[in-house]
Chains A and B, each alone.
Chain A
């Protein structure tokens, strides 16, 4: 187990380096002029451009630039914004909110999505099944920002069930519930459909017939034997989908005015704050990869046949 984790962590290194390099290139090397619009409508004074070019190592070769950035990154230095604020402060300020939002969204996906999937699979061909299939299709085909605005309008403004926004440095858990539902919506639909499909297939397996034949109650056959065996594809999906969740946070946080990392990234891209974008996205990618490692480790917990030496 320990050796497997160590090997996986080592394998992550080239991926992390590659991904951060791709992001660094997109932020710093692709735009024609990284200082465009930094000085209002006038073009920037040459001294400012020279100082900033020096500060962000933009005169160096791209690889050298990236190497220098990485060098300070491993020492915990994320650099500063153009106005001199340490990027680390910005990340510490925004990450907790997004982590809470993503956590709530995953809980919603797992609880509601799996429950709907199990219900549909057990009543295959019945009303509950059709309802789940049709409603999940509808949710998948509506863009997340439309769902967000509609829920804000109905649940928030018209009916007043949830707070309309979740502003401030430390929004309450309750105010994050509606944004989390919006964020979770698309993946929830996929989880329900995947759970249904896997469960339907597994319910026909030999071990289910054996379990039923030896007189186990239906609840135990389904709950312990079949659902547990059907979890692996669902958990794999949740891991892979975690990236989409973090991307979707950009839209959701914008609609509900949440001061999280998605909003920070979007603002920083528009303001061309390269240091913030690279820093924030790098941390996102690290989280994504760690979550997927965790998913692989969960396989062994769910399915005793899988062992990591």
Chain B
């Protein structure tokens, strides 16, 4: 909760600061109109969000998960890789809240340390997908003509390969094993998911560009001699931010699940990396005898995905003027 309050304050400060030059810089109607409009849309959305319990809960959960991922040492003193086979598959107890897994490792410690890999995969893949898809979609929509035709066909080609199937093919072509350094394995998973994930963002971006391309204010800007880069940055991007943010928060959860499925199939992240996907896939063999092996990492994974999807829902509701 504290962090939510904190962001509120910093946002407000930055907003007043951004607003200042327009107010004190003399009479500049065009400039000023742009500022106020942008400000009010963002402000409306923020006010709406602040009052939405869905947003507060999901934001709090995400902040907590990011803290866990960044500083796992704050939440447990145990080493997730130090295991004692004597404790193999022991049920939860006062000493070990979540019990022990097959190797006799403490499941609580593994769940805490596992957050980092899953969240890293989600965040990095989403960033890559938004950057690649955003640029390709914007260029395709804005330039049009043969560039659009070519990029759109390219988009359809990658759209035709299902995410999971393509991920399996790519990761099978560049296999990792237990000796591969952890960052390389992680990068491979991120790249495989990014290569197949960008078309969705590119589609959103392209349709936004097409929607505003012939809007009066863009035609006016062009008439005044604005270049493509400036038009994209000043006029197209603000329109695209809302749909892309909504897609990105939901996709982040989808990518985390995809990583878990790839790890389950044995070609995603590999054992020396502590990750929810790896732990869940190891637990499925023993689900009949020791369900707690599956429940705890599974619950954390689902909670993470849930938090991001709820955040996406809340942001969409706040940004969609139709619902107001």
Interface residues of A (CB under 8 A from B): 14-16, 18-19, 22-23, 26-27, 30-31, 137-138, 140-146, 149-150, 153, 157, 201, 243-244, 246-248, 250-251, 254, 265-266, 269-270, 272, 277, 281, 284-285, 288-289
Chain B contacts for A288, CB-based, 8 A = 160, 162
Complex CA–CA separation, A201 to B323 (angstroms):
9
Q: Check if A153 sits within 8 Å of B288, measured CB to CB.
A: yes
Q: Check if B161 sits within 8 Å of A23, measured CB to CB.
A: yes
| B4-24 CB contacts (< 8 Å) to partner A | none
- Residue pairs across A and B with Cβ atoms less than 8 A apart, 25 shown, are A15-B156, A18-B153, A22-B157, A23-B169, A26-B169, A26-B173, A30-B174, A137-B309, A140-B253, A140-B306, A141-B253, A141-B302, A143-B264, A143-B298, A145-B281, A243-B159, A244-B164, A250-B164, A250-B168, A251-B164, A251-B265, A269-B168, A269-B172, A285-B161, A289-B160
Complex CA–CA separation, A26 to B171 (angstroms):
9
Chain B contacts for A144, CB-based, 8 A = 257, 261
Question: In the assembled complex, how far is the CB of residue B115 from the closest CB belonging to chain A, in whole angstroms?
Answer: 15
Question: In the assembled complex, how far is the CB of residue A274 from the closest CB belonging to chain B, in whole angstroms?
Answer: 10
Q: Check if A149 sits within 8 Å of B162, measured CB to CB.
A: no
Chain A contacts for B294, CB-based, 8 A = 146, 149
Complex CA–CA separation, A270 to B267 (angstroms):
10
Q: Check if A19 sits within 8 Å of B164, measured CB to CB.
A: no
Check if B287 is an interface residue, CB within 8 A of chain A. yes
Check if B124 is an interface residue, CB within 8 A of chain A. no
Chain A contacts for B156, CB-based, 8 A = 15, 18
Interface residues of B (CB under 8 A from A): 153-154, 156-166, 168-170, 172-174, 253, 257, 260-261, 264-265, 280-281, 284, 287-288, 294, 298, 301-306, 309-310, 322
Q: Check if A266 sits within 8 Å of B265, measured CB to CB.
A: yes
Chain A contacts for B160, CB-based, 8 A = 15-16, 18-19, 243, 285, 288-289
Complex CA–CA separation, A265 to B161 (angstroms):
14
Q: A19-B161, A247-B162, A248-B164 are in contact. Are A27 and B173 (CB under 8 A)?
A: yes
Q: Check if B305 sits within 8 Å of A140, measured CB to CB.
A: yes
Chain A contacts for B305, CB-based, 8 A = 140-141
Chain B: CB-nearest residue to A254: B265
Chain B contacts for A289, CB-based, 8 A = 160
Q: Check if B257 sits within 8 Å of A143, measured CB to CB.
A: yes
Which listed residue, B257, B306, B322, touches A138 by the CB 8 Å rule?
A: B306
Q: Check if A15 sits within 8 Å of B153, measured CB to CB.
A: yes
Interface centre among B157, B163, B305 (most CB of A within 10 A): B157
Q: Check if B261 sits within 8 Å of A265, measured CB to CB.
A: no
Q: A26-B173, A138-B306 are in contact. Are A247 and B284 (CB under 8 A)?
A: no
Question: In the assembled complex, how far is the CB of residue B234 from the closest CB belonging to chain A, in whole angstroms?
Answer: 31
Complex CA–CA separation, A149 to B310 (angstroms):
26
Question: In the assembled complex, how far is the CB of residue B216 from the closest CB belonging to chain A, in whole angstroms?
Answer: 27
Chain B contacts for A243, CB-based, 8 A = 159-163, 165
**Given A26-B170, A244-B162, 7 other A-B residues pairs in contact with their CB atoms under 8 A:** A15-B156, A23-B169, A140-B253, A149-B284, A153-B288, A157-B288, A277-B169
Chain B contacts for A284, CB-based, 8 A = 162, 165
Chain B contacts for A201, CB-based, 8 A = 322
Q: Check if A250 sits within 8 Å of B287, measured CB to CB.
A: no
Which listed residue, B168, B281, B301, touches A266 by the CB 8 Å rule?
A: B168
Q: Check if B264 sits within 8 Å of A251, measured CB to CB.
A: yes
Q: Check if B310 sits within 8 Å of A137, measured CB to CB.
A: yes
Q: Check if B173 sits within 8 Å of A247, measured CB to CB.
A: no
Interface centre among B161, B162, B303 (most CB of A within 10 A): B162
Chain A contacts for B157, CB-based, 8 A = 15, 18-19, 22
